[in-house]
Amino acid sequence: MYLLLFSIFTVNLLAYQFPLGKQGLSDPFNNLDAITFNARYRIFARLQSGLKNYNVFWSDFESSGIPSSTVPYISCPNNYIQVPSNRRQCILDGYHRFRCINNTTISQFDNLFQRDQAANIQSMGVIWSSPAIYRNVGCHGFHSGSSMETRGCVPNNASLDDFEDYINFLAQRYNGLNGYGHLLNFIIWNEVASGGWYDMSPLIETAHPVTDPNQIYLWTSYYAEMLRRAQKALNRHNPNALIYVSLDQMFRSDQSHWNYPANIGAKTMLDGLWTELGLSVNWSIAIHPYQDPDRFIDVDTLNFFNLFTLSNYQALQLISRGIQDYEKRSQYWMAATEQGWPLPPTVGKERHAQIICAAHNIVKTMPNMIGTTHDSFQQVSLDDPYGLVPYEAGLNLVNASMYQTYKAFVSTSPSYWGIRHDHYCCQTWQMGCNGTDLLSLSIIDGVIDGFITNSTTLSGWACLHGSPNAISIFLSTSSITHQQILGQFLAADPCESPVTTRCQSFGMNYRYSIDMRPFQATQGEKLIYMYGRSPLDGSFTMLEHSGTFIIPKP
């Protein structure tokens, strides 16, 4: 039997403050000369970036290969310092053991976090990649190209004290009070519902789907203990910092991913954390909403469009525990901290720019969203399919203003979005325009006409007042917005002139026809609701005659 020793404690409500700007940065360039760094940070200041996200690899800080010790070392290797410095500090500062920390890595993050703090950017770190000496013997990782990816291997049970000490060190050094910067957002490990990135092998065989309830309990309870340890360290040295649970986009998983098939799904992980932790730890969610942000994928895929699924789940968990003001609780908050859209650099930048606008358009409708950090802010090479601002913009970003994606980042700053018209997202995609105009323009209109005679085809029309463009509509069986969505469709078929008149536009393509046969077997005899979604402000409107018609039985 594999035993865990859990520590039970209660924490108070956080005094954490959301950043002013919801658009953040995941910048791949973290080792530059001072002149280039200065130029980049001048740009980041103009963008009013709220967050800056980093991989804070434990294996980089503690890279000597020397195990921790319960007694002070005679000396650490060259370019390493002993933490804590002596027995007295060990006791006073809450450390379990002594260890050697790489001074070069310390200096690198001192520089980055100092710059962030000076620019009023909140530093965010993904805390993962245990040193090999602290992993479970036999942790195998997964194939990534021609190599094995093992950074997901978790610390073994005997090394949880070492993990807590690492968090303790980061929380103490980067507490915002001693001149080294302020690490205010701690993401604990990476995509922890995935057996590839949160790898407990060989205790849990992550090369195959995991369905044994005892194995799932071990998985979720072990991670819960890591969160408890992190909270203890932050309570000592950085009490207003926020802890995040890192999740990929699979809300429920069929564990079929070819590269790391053991993925229990975000919901299973969250179910376990609510059971283990409840409100005893101030935890939030760092979600990775990959795929197109502006269309419905399916009910179990957490892209930007479907993040309401996660918000609703967390709100219901809090309400069921008697928390009515759930909006004030950290468990309801989230940040979108890794999402990218691989597109060929020669053709993808306009779409990338549209995605930046579309994702921000959704984020701005979510008061519980702390911010976003797309992967990544700039290309690391000319052929990088993920980087958003082209590599040709220069490391000093001197040419950045030439490119659509940079203009989209500018649009999402608090000084432009919803305040002004003269920015890229408004002028090109009609997003983020002045709020007064949004109030008058963002009117969704539409009707469910009913079924075409002697058929199972549902017809109707929908539009955005004043716009000739087709809008997305959503078929549902619920009168509650965002619930029980069956599919997304486009109202883009030819329409008659009375519809055009009602839409206050010159457009002629506002009708829709939906074949209901795919829904009959599972949804037969349920009431039909239809919603239109505004491309301007992301709002949903129920179409007329929703709740009037019924999905026919097969």
| 415-472 tens-digit pLDDT | 999 998 899 999 898 888 876 544 445 689 999 999 999 999 999 999 988 777 788 8
> Does residue 498 register a pLDDT over 50?
yes
| Closest CA relative to residue 517, chosen from 454, 449, 455 | 455
Written out in words, the top-level CATH class of the domain with range 34-61+100-435 is alpha beta
Query: What does residue 123 show for φ and ψ, rounded to 5 degrees?
Result: -75, 140
**What is the maximal distance between C-alpha atoms in the chain?**
88
Pairing relationship of beta strands 99-102 and 80-83 according to DSSP bridges = antiparallel
202-237 pLDDT, tens digit per residue, is 999 888 899 999 999 999 999 999 999 999 999 999
CATH code for 442-542?
Answer: 2.60.40
Taking the mean position of all CA atoms in its chain, how far away is CA 512? 33
Pairing relationship of beta strands 122-128 and 51-57 according to DSSP bridges = parallel
Cα-based distances in Å from 297 to 65, 69, 305, 365: 45, 50, 8, 19
Q: For the whole model, what pTM was predicted?
A: 0.83
Confidence of residue 6 (pLDDT cuts 50, 70, 90): very low
Tokens in use for 440? 């008058």
Query: What does residue 455 show for φ and ψ, rounded to 5 degrees?
Result: -150, 175
Give dist(CA 191, CA 172) in Å, integer.
25
Tokens in use for 16? 């954490």
Cis, bond preceding 209 (omega within 30 deg of 0) = no
Q: According to the model, what pLDDT value does residue 257 have? A: 64
Give dist(CA 431, CA 360) in Å, integer.
9
- Burial of residue 15, with CB atoms counted within 10 A of its CB: 0-12 exposed, 13-18 middle, 19 or more buried: exposed
> Does residue 511 register a pLDDT over 80?
yes
Question: Looking at the chain, which residues constitute the CATH 3.20.20.80 domain(s)?
Answer: 34-61+100-435
Question: Looking at the chain, which residues constitute the CATH 2.60.40 domain(s)?
Answer: 442-542
Q: What value does the mean pLDDT of the chain take? A: 91
Query: What does residue 290 show for φ and ψ, rounded to 5 degrees?
Result: -65, 175
Mean pLDDT of 284-297: 90
408 close to 425: Cβ distance less than 8 angstroms: yes
Cα-based distances in Å from 255 to 87, 148, 476: 47, 20, 27
Sign for the pseudo-dihedral over CA of 87, 89, 94, 100: negative
Give dist(CA 443, CA 466) in Å, integer.
9
User: Collapsing DSSP states into helix, strand and coil, what is residue 239?
Assistant: coil
